[in-house]
């Protein structure tokens, strides 16, 4: 398997630190708003990377944080007159809902920055002891020039960086020893959340959280560290400096970065105001379409969002789900596998091989999807009315397996109609009246599986969609 490594600017063969295992960390969102579809790109892309590793038999330990303490969260909390923890908790919940609707699996662990402050204080302490950090008036800075390999990820030269920084004075940080130094810990300001630390009552800088959470949940060395390409500098460069200075070992072996999701060829971002939230898109499309759209481009290519491309993704997805449904229906056909069908199955395996070849080449999902379309076309032409159930079913399994790697759900969601729900509730009431509680519970569970939640209130039974 080949992975493009930002560190070496080359595609490299993947060799895990520990055989059969992948330790992977993906920088997650800052939670002060609903996520936009630019934020969704790394979620979908790296979830697909994880799924492919699992398909290949690896055990993946996948960690992705939520940044739940940050200037923007505090600002939002102050505007609303609530606690910043309340704002963060609200948007973490919403983000998890969006992830589920995009079929992005929960990480093995989703650490929260605010729950890892002790670890951050400990790492900062070690960095000070080792001479890589210093305190000035309650603020702790990283002594960038002491980390000799600084710039190795972003391929920046320290002197070029220095001249870039000269004109860029950050107010309140004039006390730094060097313009390149960055904040590890800062004292609280009025109205901000804070934690006690040896240097001041305050809060951590942004970069330290990922170094600490990655170490805690994955160990000092990891296989893959990932995120959007805007994180290469300074965030990931600073993470490397902190982790390697503290642990004395290479931090991550492979650094993967997705390109931007653009709109009118400009990066979609909250600060530019040119964004759609995942929730906006959910009003018009099933979020499977969004997922399929994202994977229709290679993750390192910029992707321009447009209604045309979304509609093309919708049609493409429908071709796949329609074919999958037809294969499933034909799977109940009678008859044995014929010699011709046997040959066709062998031929169909070529599309699976093509799919794998694309994924092995730095997760080229665009080419992998082309292979899926070829399989669909092959299935549509070879599964005739006379096809045997065994043949149709074998193709159905093949298609399903590829869709599972992409995280595409092939079963068309059938929404329950209100009438159907009411009828089942009435049946449940009747069962309860007859003291058949097992049946009543079974009906409740059946509805729950279909996303309908029942609540028994004094006024009777009410229901809502999950
Ligand atoms: P943030 O909340 O801004 O820290 O972003 C969370 C993740 O989304 C990071 O990995 C970012 O690099 C990524 N991201 C933000 N905007 C975009 C975009 N327009 N396209 C692709 N990735 C993005
Ligand atoms: Zn990070």
3-state secondary structure of 379: helix
Indicate whether residue 206 lines ligand 1 (CB < 6 A). no
Indicate whether residue 35 lines ligand 1 (CB < 6 A). no
Q: What is the pLDDT of residue 417?
A: 77
Encoded tokens for 109:
């662990």
**pLDDT values of the chain reduced to their tens digit, one per residue, 466 residues:** 999 999 999 999 999 999 999 999 999 999 999 999 999 999 999 999 999 999 999 999 999 999 999 999 999 999 999 999 999 999 999 999 999 999 999 999 999 999 999 999 999 999 999 999 999 999 999 999 999 999 999 999 888 888 767 655 566 778 999 999 999 999 999 989 999 999 999 999 999 999 999 999 999 999 999 999 999 999 999 999 999 999 999 999 999 999 999 998 899 988 888 999 999 999 999 999 999 999 999 999 999 999 999 999 999 999 999 999 999 999 999 989 999 999 999 999 999 999 999 999 999 999 999 999 999 999 999 999 999 999 999 999 999 999 999 999 988 666 677 888 889 999 999 999 999 999 998 898 888 877 788 888 888 888 887 7
CB environment 190-199: b (16+ within 10 A), e (fewer):
eebbebebeb
From the list 8, 45, 115, the residue with the least C-alpha distance to 365 is 45
CB environment 317-340: b (16+ within 10 A), e (fewer):
beebbebbebbbebbebeeebeee
Nearest-ligand number for the alpha carbon of 27 = 2
Are the beta carbons of 37 and 290 closer than 8 angstroms?
Answer: yes
CA atoms of 99 and 79, how far apart (whole Å): 27
Ligand 1 pocket test target in 230, 295, 300 with most atoms within 8 Å of CB: 230
The number of the ligand 1 atom at minimal distance from the alpha carbon of 259 is 21
For domain 17-157+183-263, which CATH number applies: 2.60.120.620, 3.40.50.300, 3.40.50.620, 3.30.460.10?
3.40.50.620
Encoded tokens for 431:
């069962």
CA atoms of 158 and 161, how far apart (whole Å): 5
CA atoms of 354 and 367, how far apart (whole Å): 8
Tokens 């045997």 found at: 388
Indicate whether residue 107 lines ligand 1 (CB < 6 A). no
Distance 25 CA to ligand 2 centre (A): 8
Q: What is the pLDDT of residue 82?
A: 95
Indicate whether residue 299 lines ligand 1 (CB < 6 A). no
Cβ-based burial of 146 (10 A; exposed 0-12, middle 13-18, buried ≥19): middle
Q: What are phi and psi of 21, to 5 degrees?
A: -130, 145
Sign of the C-alpha dihedral computed for residues 360, 365, 368 and 372 taken in this order? positive
Are the beta carbons of 24 and 61 closer than 8 angstroms?
Answer: yes
Distance 170 CA to ligand 1 centre (A): 24
Distance 302 CA to ligand 2 centre (A): 21
From the list 182, 173, 188, the residue with the least C-alpha distance to 84 is 188
Nearest-ligand number for the alpha carbon of 40 = 1
DSSP 8-state secondary structure symbol assigned to residue 277: B
Contacts 24+ apart (CB under 8 A), 181-184: 181/141, 181/142, 181/143, 181/144, 182/141, 182/142, 182/144, 182/207, 182/234, 182/238, 183/139, 183/140, 183/141, 183/142, 184/124, 184/127, 184/133, 184/140, 184/141, 184/142, 184/208, 184/242
The number of the ligand 1 atom at minimal distance from the alpha carbon of 230 is 12
Whole-prediction pTM? 0.89
Indicate whether residue 73 lines ligand 1 (CB < 6 A). no
Q: What is the pLDDT of residue 160?
A: 80
CA atoms of 227 and 42, how far apart (whole Å): 6
CA atoms of 375 and 399, how far apart (whole Å): 7
Indicate whether residue 180 lines ligand 1 (CB < 6 A). no
Q: What is the pLDDT of residue 166?
A: 61
Q: Does domain 306-412 have CATH number 1.20.120.640?
A: yes
**Residue-range domain boundaries for the chain:** 17-157+183-263, 306-412, 418-465
CA atoms of 252 and 239, how far apart (whole Å): 10
Distance 394 CA to ligand 2 centre (A): 43
Are the beta carbons of 348 and 375 closer than 8 angstroms?
Answer: yes
Nearest-ligand number for the alpha carbon of 31 = 1
Ligand 1 pocket test target in 28, 38, 237, 256 with most atoms within 8 Å of CB: 38
Q: Find the distance separating the first CA and the last CA of the chain, reported in whole Å.
A: 39
Query: SS3 string of 200-269?
Result: CEEEECHHHHHHHHHHHHHCCCEEEEEEEHHHHHHHHHHHHHHHHHHHCCCCEEEEEEECCEEECCEECC
Give yes or no for a cis peptide into 234 (omega within 30° of 0): yes
Are the beta carbons of 244 and 149 closer than 8 angstroms?
Answer: yes
């Amino acid at each position: 398997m080949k992975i493009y490594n930002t560190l070496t600017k080359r595609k490299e063969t993947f060799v895990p630190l520990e055989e059969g295992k992948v330790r992977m960390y993906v920088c997650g969102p800052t939670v002060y708003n609903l996520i936009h579809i630019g934020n969704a790109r790394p979620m979908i892309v790296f979830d697909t990377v994880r799924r492919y590793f699992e398909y290949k038999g690896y055990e993946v330990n996948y960690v992705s944080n939520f940044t739940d303490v940050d200037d923007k969260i505090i600002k939002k909390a102050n505007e609303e007159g609530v606690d910043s923890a309340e704002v963060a908790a609200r948007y973490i919940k919403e983000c998890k809902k969006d992830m589920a609707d995009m079929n992005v699996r929960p990480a093995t662990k989703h650490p929260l920055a605010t729950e890892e402050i002790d670890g951050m204080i400990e790492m900062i302490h070690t960095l000070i002891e080792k001479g890589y950090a210093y305190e000035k008036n309650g603020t702790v800075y990283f002594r960038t020039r002491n980390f000799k390999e600084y710039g190795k990820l972003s391929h920046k030269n320290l002197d070029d960086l220095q001249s870039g920084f000269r004109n860029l004075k950050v107010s309140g940080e004039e006390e730094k020893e060097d313009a390149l130094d960055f904040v590890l810990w800062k004292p609280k300001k009025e109205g901000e959340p804070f934690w006690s630390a040896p240097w001041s009552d305050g809060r951590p800088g942004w970069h330290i959280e990922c170094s600490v959470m990655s170490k805690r949940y994955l160990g000092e060395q990891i296989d893959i560290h990932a995120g959007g390409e805007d994180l290469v500098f300074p965030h990931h460069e600073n993470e490397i400096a902190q982790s390697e200075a503290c642990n004395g070992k290479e931090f991550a072996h492979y650094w993967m970065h997705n390109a931007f999701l653009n709109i009118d060829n400009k990066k979609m971002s909250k600060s530019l105001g040119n964004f759609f939230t995942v929730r906006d898109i959910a009003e018009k499309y099933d979020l499977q379409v969004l997922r399929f759209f994202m994977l229709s481009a290679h993750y390192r290519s910029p992707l321009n969002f447009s209604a045309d491309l979304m509609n093309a993704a919708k049609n493409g997805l429908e071709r796949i789900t329609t074919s999958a449904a037809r294969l499933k229906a034909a799977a109940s056909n009678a008859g044995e596998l014929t010699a011709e069908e046997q040959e066709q199955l062998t031929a169909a395996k070529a599309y699976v091989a093509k799919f794998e070849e694309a994924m092995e080449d730095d997760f080229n999902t665009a080419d992998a999807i082309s292979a899926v379309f070829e399989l669909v076309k092959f299935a549509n032409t070879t599964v005739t009315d006379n096809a045997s159930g065994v043949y149709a079913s074998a193709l159905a399994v093949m298609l399903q397996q590829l869709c599972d790697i992409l995280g595409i759900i092939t079963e068309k969601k059938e929404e329950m109609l209100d009438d159907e729900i009411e009828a089942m509730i009435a049946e449940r009431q009747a069962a309860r009246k007859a003291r058949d509680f097992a049946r009543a519970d079974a009906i409740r569970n059946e509805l729950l599986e279909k996303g309908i939640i029942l609540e028994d209130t004094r006024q009777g039974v009410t229901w809502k969609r999950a």
